[in-house]
Amino acid sequence: MKFIPAEISDLIIVEPDVFGDHRGFFMESWHTEKFAQGGIDAHFVQDNQSRSSQGILRGLHYQIQKPQGKLVRVLSGEIFDVAVDLRKNSPTFGKWFGIYLNDTDKKMLWVPPGFGHGFYVVSAQADFFYKCTDFYAQEHERTILWDDPDLAIDWPLAGGRKPILAPKDAAAKAFKDAEYFEWVVSSKV
C-alpha cells in the first residue's frame, strides 16, 4: 500500500495493493496500523455511501463545528474529487486539489478536518463511499459555491454543461463569505 502526499499538506492519496485474477480481486480498504504508518491516524465513527448519475456535483461541503476527516473512494464508476483548504493560517489556504477516483485503480483520498469537499460524477453512474471521523451534524454543515471564481476549480464538466445540483449546493456561499478553520499543524484525529 502506498501513501502519497498530495500537493496540499495533509491530503494523502492512498494506492492500495489490489490482488486480482480471473475470479475478481481482493484489497484492504482500511487497516488501522498500515494507515497510521502512512500518516492517517484516524478514528472513524460513521460510514456513508451515495449513488449519483453523470453530471451530478455534490459539494463543496464541510462542518464548521464537529469537523469531519473523510477517507473517500469510489466503489463503481468514476468521479472527479475535490478538496479545498479552509484552514485560514495554512500556506495553502484557499487552494484546491482534484483527483479522479474510480473503480479501476481503486485509489482513495484522505481529506482531513479543515477542508471543504465535493465531487463531480464523470461516468454514467458512480457509487461513492467515505468513512468519517465525526458524525454528521446538519446545524454545523456549510457549503461553498462549486464555481466560486476565487477558487477557480477546473471541474471536468461533461460537454461543458452546468452540473446538476441539490438546492443547498445551488444556494451555497461564496468562498470570501465562508466560515474558515484555524490551522492545526497535525492532522491526527
Q: How far apart are CA 32 and CA 44, in angstroms?
A: 10
Q: How far apart are CA 151 and CA 144, in angstroms?
A: 10
Cell readout for 121 is 460524477
Yes or no: say if 187 and 69 are a contact pair by the CB < 8 Å rule.
yes
**Residue 130 a catalytic site member:** yes
C-alpha distances (whole Å) from 158 to each of 54, 79, 104, 126 are 8, 12, 20, 15
Q: Which listed residue (22, 130, 136, 180) is catalytic?
A: 130
Q: How far apart are CA 187 and CA 10, in angstroms?
A: 6
Q: Which listed residue (61, 62, 117, 180) is catalytic?
A: 61
> Which are the contacts of 106, defined by CB distance < 8 A and separation ≥ 6?
16, 18, 27, 73
Q: How far apart are CA 113 and CA 10, in angstroms?
A: 10
φ, ψ of residue 36 to 5 degrees: the values are: -60, -40
Yes or no: say if 58 and 50 are a contact pair by the CB < 8 Å rule.
yes
Residues classed as catalytic: 61, 130
